[in-house]
Amino acid sequence: MNERVRLYAGTQHGLIVWRSNNGGWEEVSRGFRDGIIDSIAGCHRAPECVFVGVTHDGLYRTQDGGKQWTKVLEGDIRSVAVDPTNDDVIYTGTEPAQLFRSEDRGKSWKELPGLLKLPEAVRKNWTFPQPPHQGHIRNIFIHPNNPKILYLCIEHGGIVRSFDRGESWEDVSGGIDYLDIHVISSLPGELSPYYVATARGFYTSEEPARGWVRAENGFTRDYFHDFLFLPPARAGGNPTMLIATGDKSPGFWRRENRGARAAIFRSDDCAQSWQRLERGLPENLDLMVWALAHHPYDPNTVFAGLGLVARGHASGSGGAGQLLVTRDRGESWQELPIQLPADRVLWAAAD
């Protein structure tokens, strides 16, 4: 079996693609050098097909593993997701908050205007602290068990969901006191519970319409970003959860003239408790861990993308970047021998 990996890093200064080669990494391509990359998602059955969102520009698609890119949608793209049950169905979100769907792998697009029919009392929260003060769709979750169920994380603005592929929507943000929403997912293989990472809390809910409760036992950080699930280490066990965290939010880091003091935590009991992962990670990590990405073959391996940048702010220059890997479900981490600008998003695919 060919088990080589192609790694796509979306940074503050463009997209870089590498492929694994004899234990090392070789660069395949660089693109969008003046662009800020804020979203990446690839097809599940056609790994050479990947979508990249360039802020203030558009959505691009490669069908040859990153060698060539074609713009498939104009707009200030902030999120993209491929239906886990159908590679032809793609959703993408923008700033200001609008949602689009393609049924033909990006050849044509339809806006889903039902999102903007939510009450004004909901939409008035869709704002952002920095100019032009417009909220954007940060994350799109398509439920693998029922792809008619969609959840959107709006930064800032809350959580909205649809049961009819985006035709109609309801707000399900109750219980979250600061609506800076980053990532949402359900427990793998189940319709619930759900988990959501925000700028001031990590929450869970069996039924989001009835509200969210905090699930922060063991955390020593209070800013939450990417998280993912690994399959159970043994039959009948719980999935492993990994989450990237920081000490307060980017606004605090700037005002205090310091780094993120980032940390990665793991839970083996579905977020009832968390343990900080320390092997290979410094006590106070200046670069924020903005992205966690599954290895396409190895269920124990995860890549992490780090960057000295404010992830939600899509302008200006960024600092250094770094890529890490764990091959033992987060127990230990090593730096990949790769140089890059501040990383914002990351995708790993079969090569």
- Using CA atoms, how far apart are residues 6 and 47, in angstroms rounded to an integer? 9
Please state the pTM of the whole predicted model: 0.96
Between CA 330 and CA 240 the distance in angstroms is: 9
Mean pLDDT, residues 27-55:
95
Length reported for the chain: 351
pLDDT at 1: 38
Residues 140 and 79 sit within 8 Å (Cβ to Cβ): yes
User: Residues 53-67: pLDDT tens digits?
Assistant: 999 999 999 999 999
Helix-strand-coil split of the chain, %, nearest 5? 5, 45, 50
Instruction: Give CA–CA dist 260/65, Å, rounded.
Output: 33
Q: How confident is the model at residue 132 (pLDDT cuts 50, 70, 90)?
A: confident
The answer, yes or no, to whether the previous bond of 156 is cis (omega within 30 of 0) is yes
Domains and CATH numbers, the chain: 5-350 (2.130.10.10)
- Residue 94 CA to residue 75 CA, distance in Å, equals 7
Phi, psi of 136 (to 5 degrees): -140, 160
Distance, in Å, from the CA atom of 141 to the CA atom of 159, rounded to the nearest integer, reads: 11
Integer Cα distance of 142 and 287 in angstroms: 30
pLDDT digits (tens, 9 = 90+) for 210-220: 999 999 999 99
- Average pLDDT, stretch 274-293? 95
Closest CA to 152 of 144, 25, 165: 165
Phi first, then psi: give them for residue 84, nearest 5 degrees: -65, -10
| pLDDT over 50 (residue 131) | yes
